[in-house]
Structure 1
Amino acid sequence: MAASPLNVQPSFHARSNSLPSRQHPITSQIDENLNRLRASQSASTSSSSTGHELTCLQDLYDYVDMLLQFPLTQQALAQDQQRKSVEQVLDASLVLLDVCGTAKDALLQIKECTKELQSVLRRRRGEVEGFGDEVRKYLTSKKEVRKAISKAFKNLKHMDNKLMSKDGETGSVISTLKQVVAATMGVLQSLLSFISGPEASSRWSLVSKLMHQKRVRCEEEEEKTN
């Protein structure tokens, strides 16, 4: 799994003029969900763990939305000394939205190509002649997806370096939002890595092996029928 920015330690418990000195229940929930994400990130990458991370992330954003509705939070974000940090968080949010769009498009493209490949497999019933063209088409599509994902990774890395800079004063609200952004980056990195999958050579080897096994089974069934 790619290195995740989720190792950032919680800092929004600190006393600040941005939030009441006593921790609000919402911030406790945010803290809890961040910890859940960190625990999930330490597990191995799989479809189940990635799905769990996405579920945790959805819960996390529900509480963040509640936090942003508080008048005290809005007052803290409106302070002049927080302006640069707020702009950084907003810019980071736009990058995250763009990366989410990349992940969505990649999933749709892979799903469509996989359905087409499965359809070809069913129609050919084990015949391998001309099947290489279909597989190459599928792998080309996957290569395009990997290229888009690679660009998304670079955008995330650039955003991480910019977001974690210490320019300007950072209040507890901004600190919380930056940790949420970092958590989102970690989940998106896991998701993109999962979508990207193994190298093309490994996929080709697997497909070739499956086609060989399918052809052998068809030949054996044909011999039994004869």
Structure 2
Amino acid sequence: MAGSLSNIQSYHVRSNSLPSRPHPITSEVDQHLTRLRSSQTTSSSSSSLICLEINGLQDLHDCVDKMLQLPLIQQALGQDQQNKLVNELLNGSLRILDVSSIAKDSLLQTKECVQGLQSVLRRRRGDEISSEVKKYLTTRKSVKKTIKKALKGSMENKCSSKISEELEMITMLREVEAITFAVFESMLSLISGPKASSKSGWSLVSKLIHSKRIPCEEEDQETYMNEFAKVDAALSNLTSKSDNIICVQNQLKELESSIQDLEEGIECLSRHLIKSRVCLLNIFNN
């Protein structure tokens, strides 16, 4: 799951602007960073794992919020004359909020389509099914396009300035920014799922109407397909083995539950991100 944004470097530097004995809160930030780096080394992804990482980010940014309230930290950051590094921190916090907004919008659009499909599948009305299937596939295509653009933009805007040994606190904040981007990249990749099939959803609609069985994912794929991928495969991969309509309904229910968990996690995380950005702006503008 570790992607291009998750190549996080570990810095071991000391700063003349900070005390020789680090404040306990900075040590706690380091611990959260270590755990999140470790979770990024796994090669698989699932909504449950991403939720755990989002929870880890919440804990990390909660510590960052507390750290930024310390007078000594505010003094060290406020006295920094490296304007380029300061601007990169502020720009980075803004990009993180932008990516967070894209993730929330993508989840919301997908959830609305999932709920529409659930409704028409319960009624088993062919004309409504055809419309909702087309709507779902079209929305997913749009979501994937937006996510692809967001991931490309995040990669192009990565900070590249070198960090000197005099700027330990900025180094730590840059590491926080990097691991946050890495987790968001993993989440967006999860939401995007596999590349959509070029086949039309109309054949699927015909199967839904005239057969008791509909396309479902291959059993040997189920062990690694996430909830988004399962629904995409069921609605667009017409060459896979079939299963009854309950299969897709269960998949939609599972996907809706996963989306709900992700939405709640991102909403809580966003509050921390906004709070940290406001605090940084106050420090650097004083």
Q: Is the shorter-chain TM-score for this pair beyond 0.5, marking a shared fold?
A: yes
CA contact (8 A) 1:26 1:63 kept: yes
Query: Do structure 1's residue 134 and structure 2's residue 132 form an aligned pair?
Result: yes
CA contact (8 A) 2:17 2:166 kept: no
Q: Which residue of 2 aligns with 1:195?
A: 191
With 169-178 and 76-85 compared, the bigger mean Cα shift is at 76-85
Cα deviations across residues 186-226 of structure 1 (Å, max 9, x unaligned)? 110011011111222175652366996437x9xxxxxxxxx
Instruction: Give the SS at the match of 1:18.
Output: coil
Distance 2:166 2:173 in 1: 11
CA contact (8 A) 2:2 2:40 kept: no
CA contact (8 A) 2:4 2:155 kept: no
Cα deviations across residues 144-171 of structure 1 (Å, max 9, x unaligned)? 11111112102211221xx132288860
Aligned residue among 204, 208, 214 for 2:244 = 214
The letter of the residue matching 1:180 is V
Cα deviations across residues 66-90 of structure 1 (Å, max 9, x unaligned)? 1111112112212242322111010
Q: Which residue of 1 aligns with 2:162?
A: 166
Distance 1:193 1:152 in 2: 11
Q: How does 1:105-184 map to 2 (within 5 A)?
A: 105-124=105-124, 131-160=129-158, 163-166=159-162, 171-184=167-180
CA contact (8 A) 2:113 2:132 kept: no
5+ unaligned residues in a row in structure 2: which ranges?
Answer: 198-228, 248-286
Distance 1:167 1:36 in 2: 23
The letter of the residue matching 2:60 is L
Q: Which residue of 2 aligns with 1:66?
A: 66
Instruction: Give the SS at the match of 1:166.
Output: coil
Query: Do structure 1's residue 24 and structure 2's residue 23 form an aligned pair?
Result: yes
Distance 1:80 1:59 in 2: 27
Residues paired across the two proteins, number:
212
Q: 1:19 to 1:204 in 2, by over 3 A?
A: closer
Structure with the largest fraction of helix:
1
5+ unaligned residues in a row in structure 1: which ranges?
Answer: 218-226
Instruction: Give the SS at the match of 2:64.
Output: helix
CA contact (8 A) 2:163 2:171 kept: no
CA contact (8 A) 1:100 1:188 kept: yes
Structure 1 vs Structure 2: percent identity of aligned residues?
A: 51
Q: Which residue of 1 aligns with 2:46?
A: 46
Q: 1:5 to 1:147 in 2, by over 3 A?
A: closer
Q: 1:177 to 1:205 in 2, by over 3 A?
A: closer
Query: TM-score normalised to the size of structure 1?
Result: 0.83
Distance 1:5 1:148 in 2: 17
Query: Which structure has the greater CA radius of gyration?
Result: 1
CA contact (8 A) 1:85 1:168 kept: no
Where relative contact order (Cα < 8 A, 6+ residues apart) is larger, the structure is 1
Query: TM-score normalised to the size of structure 2?
Result: 0.67
CA contact (8 A) 2:5 2:178 kept: yes
Instruction: Give the SS at the match of 1:81.
Output: coil
Q: 1:119 to 1:170 in 2, by over 3 A?
A: farther
Q: What RMSD over aligned residues (CA atoms) do the two structures have, in Å?
A: 2.7
Q: 1:7 to 1:150 in 2, by over 3 A?
A: closer
Q: 1:205 to 1:172 in 2, by over 3 A?
A: closer
**Residue 7 of structure 1, CA deviation:** 3.8
With 43-52 and 180-189 compared, the bigger mean Cα shift is at 43-52
